Amino acid sequence: MVQTVTFPGLGWSFELNRIAFSLFGINFYWYGLLIAIGFLLAVLYANKRGPQFGLNADRMGDVIFGATIIGVIGARLYYVAFEWEYYSQDLSRIFDTRSGGLAIYGGIIFGFLAGWLLGKWRKVRFLPLADAAAGGFLLAQGIGRWGNFVNIEAFGSNTTVPWGMGGPVVENYLRAHQAELEALGVAVDPSMPVHPTFFYESMWCLLGFALMQLLVKRRKFDGELALFYFGWYGAGRMVIEGLRTDSLVIGDTGIRVSQLVAFCMVIAAVSVWLVIRAKLKRNPQALPLYVTTEESKRLMEPEKKAESKKAKQKSNEE
């Protein structure tokens, strides 16, 4: 399970073991562990932000918990669907996620859809919920991408930048897929370093997460942070995907699925943002934030009373 990855230009070399630890004879892999940590932090972040957007924490927690589980399942189904030729030969492979195989777009689509449906059930407004969850998505993706590093996957084509990565796994992969990549117009030299695209995406997501913290108090309408997420992530993924050597492709068209989806995300997010901003410019009161509504205040009242009670108890103890 131990593999070597190198960064020749930096003089770095790492021995990576995909197994984080073993417990009762069961191996726990870094890939799954990092994704789990990312999702956990995303849930905690959304729960922390929720009240700021006028959402009842208990109701929102139920929705986020369910949407997270469905999102992970969706990420796997999305990946399997575009690699069906491989998985159809042995259906048991569908359930083996230890070596990777989660597509973020599947997680986004299924997660947001589940959030909308579960939100209706628990009476949680979807747009402020999407704003609360958007930052969590960027945080989870920024952390989860390091699972690709441990697996030595999700890297790009050849590069001469100082931080280019290499190693036996990289060389073997490029050699095995050299003809396939050439058919897509990507010429590779297995002996040369490649772009660490997992790192690019991780940094892009974490930078987006940091920027979103500055935008929280500046949002003008519910759903604005979610639009920022789609636009920001889509723009970065559209560029980074063009560097990768393991992209899911639509049939024999050569069209990279993730690049196409990212392009559509950016166009849709920017278009909707411009339309809504124009509407608010004409009438600033057209779309009041949910946190300012009577419905939100009514649902938040139990939490405020509980917080006030805790504050009084703490004050008395002191």
pLDDT on residue 99: 58
- Residue 96 contacts by C-beta under 8 Å, 6 or more apart in sequence? none
Q: How far apart are CA 132 and CA 49, in angstroms?
A: 6
pLDDT on residue 262: 93
Average pLDDT over residues 67-86: 83
Average pLDDT, the chain: 88
Taking the CA atoms of residue 188, residue 193, residue 197 and residue 199 in that order, the dihedral angle to the nearest 10 degrees is 170
Q: Where does the pLDDT of residue 309 fall: very low under 50, low under 70, confident under 90, or very high at 90 and above?
A: low
Q: Is the dihedral of CA 212, 216, 218, 220 positive or negative?
A: positive
pLDDT on residue 117: 93
State the distance between the two ends of the chain, measured CA to CA, in whole angstroms. 54
**CA-wise closest residue to 130 among 63, 213, 209:** 63
Where do the domains of the chain lie? 2-309
Between 33-47, 63-77, 116-130, 294-308, the lowest mean confidence (pLDDT) is in 294-308
- Residue 60 contacts by C-beta under 8 Å, 6 or more apart in sequence? 46, 47, 50, 122, 124, 129, 132
pLDDT score of 13 more than 70:
yes
pLDDT on residue 78: 82
pTM of the complete model beyond 0.85: yes
As given in the structure block, the two tokens for residue 17 are: 């073991």
pLDDT on residue 198: 95
pLDDT on residue 318: 58
**CA-wise closest residue to 4 among 168, 147, 199, 151:** 168
Q: What is the separation of C-alpha 192 from the centre of its chain, rounded to a whole number of angstroms?
A: 29
**pLDDT tens digit sequence for 122-139:** 888 999 999 999 999 999
**pLDDT tens digit sequence for 216-267:** 989 999 999 999 999 999 999 999 999 998 887 777 777 888 899 899 999 9
User: Which residues are registered as beta bridge partners of 156?
Assistant: 244
